[in-house]
Amino acid sequence: MDLKLFDFQLEKSNIALSPVSPRDNSKLLVLDENESIGNAHFYDLPSFLNPGDTLVVNETKVIPSYFECFKKRFDEISRIKLNLVKEVGNGCWLILAKPKKRIKINDKIIFSAVDSVEAKVVAFEEDDHIKISFNIEKDKLLKWIYVNGTVPLPPYITSQRDIDKKDEKSYQTVYAKTQGSFAAPTAGLHFTEELLKKIKSKGVNVCTVLLHVGSGTFSPIKTNNIKNHKIHSEWCCLDGDSVKILNQTKANKNKIIAVGTTSMRILETAINKDGLFSEYIGETNIYITPGFKFNAVDMLVTNFHLPKSSLFVLVCAFYGIKNMQNAYKYAIKNDYRFYSYGDACLIKKNYDL
C-alpha cells in the first residue's frame, strides 16, 4: 500500500505551538459512522457517551527526557541535543540525538560535569537510535533525570519557541501516574478533572491502561510500501480490574472508547478473536493498517496527526482512507489546530470497512 495515500499538505499556521486554556476548550471534530462531519468542543464529549460505555485512558507519565549535553572525543568537545527514549537494561538507554552524524562509537556524552553524570556511546541501532551506557546505577540515574531533565516537546514546537515552565504541566495528562514515556499520549491532554467527573456522573466507566510512549509511536514511515514499515516495541499493561470492566462492557453491548492511539494499541493487543480481553503485560509492536480487523474499540478520541505517520495510517484504518483525508481537509479549511497541543477528533468506527 503506497505511502502517498497517507500524505496531505499542512501550513505551519495550522500547527499548535501551545495548548488552549482551559484544556477542554479545544475544538472537537466529530466523525460519525455515517461518514458525516460535525463540530463541537471537547467539553461536549459527555454528550456523545452513554451510561455503561467505557472510556479507556493511558495513565503513563512523561519523563523529563530532553537534555542539552556535551560530546567529547579525545580533547574535542562539542554541543549535542538528545532525548532519552527507552531504558534497555544494564545501565544502557536508547537515545535520539542531533547532530547524529558527528557521533561515533566510544564518544563520551557529558550530561553534567558538576554531578559527574556521563555516558559512553556503545552502538548504533535501527531508525537513528543510539545506544549509550551510563556511569551511574539505575536508581540514582532516574532520580537525577527527574530533577535535571527537560520536558521533551516535539521538534516542530521547540524549533519555533523555547520550552516554558508551563509545559511541565500542560504536556502531562491530569491522570498521569506511572513514569515511563518520552512523549505524551496527547489525546488525553484535553481532559480536566471536572470533565472526567462529569463523564463518570453520567454512568460512564473510566478505566486505565498503561503504554509507555516510545519512538514506536512517532517514528516516521520511510518505506514506499507502508506494509514494509516496522514499529519499535513499547511496554504496556492491561490489568485484571480493567479487563473485568471491558469484558462486562462488551457483554452489555455498550461502547468502548479509546483515548488516544496508545490506548487503542494496547486494547487491540490484549483482545482475542472472540472479543474477550485478557490481562496483558509486556511489549507490543502492533502495527494497525487498513484492512485490520478491530475487535476492541468502537470509538476513538485522538488528535490530528502528521502526514505519512503510522498514527495517520491507524486512523485511516479505523475510518477509511478517503473519509479520513476528507475529514483532514475539512479540519484544515476550518482552522482546526494540529498535532500534540492541537484540537481533537472523535471518530466512530466505520463498520463498512
- List the chain domain ranges: 3-62+168-348, 66-149
Q: Which CATH superfamily is domain 3-62+168-348 in?
A: QueA-like (3.40.1780.10)
pLDDT above 80 (res 115): yes
pLDDT tens-digit map of 135-186: 999 889 999 999 999 999 998 999 899 999 999 999 999 999 999 999 999 9
- Return the C-alpha cell found at 159: 524549533
Cα–Cα distance for residue pair 267/338, rounded to 1 Å? 25
pLDDT score recorded for residue 267: 98
> Bridge partners of 41?
27
> Bridge partners of 70?
79, 110
Q: Which CATH superfamily is domain 66-149 in?
A: QueA-like (2.40.10.240)
- The residue-averaged pLDDT of 213-225 equals 83
Mean pLDDT score of the chain, rounded to an integer? 94
Higher pLDDT, 290 or 33: 290
Burial class (CB in 10 A: 0-12, 13-18, 19+), 241: exposed
Asked if 344 and 26 count as a contact pair (C-beta separation under 8 A), the reply is: yes
For residues 278-298, one letter each, b for 16 or more C-beta atoms within 10 angstroms of the residue's C-beta and e for the rest, the string is eebeeebebbbebeeebebbb
pLDDT above 80 (res 218): no
Q: How many residues does the chain have?
A: 353
pLDDT above 90 (res 351): no
List all residues 6 or more positions away from 224 whose beta carbon is below 8 Å from its beta carbon: 2, 3
Higher pLDDT, 98 or 278: 278
Amino acid 127 reads: D
- The residue-averaged pLDDT of 306-321 equals 96
At 127, the pLDDT band (50, 70, 90 cuts) reads confident
pLDDT score recorded for residue 90: 83
- The residue-averaged pLDDT of 191-205 equals 98
At 298, the pLDDT band (50, 70, 90 cuts) reads very high
pLDDT score recorded for residue 101: 86
pLDDT score recorded for residue 216: 66
pLDDT above 90 (res 78): yes
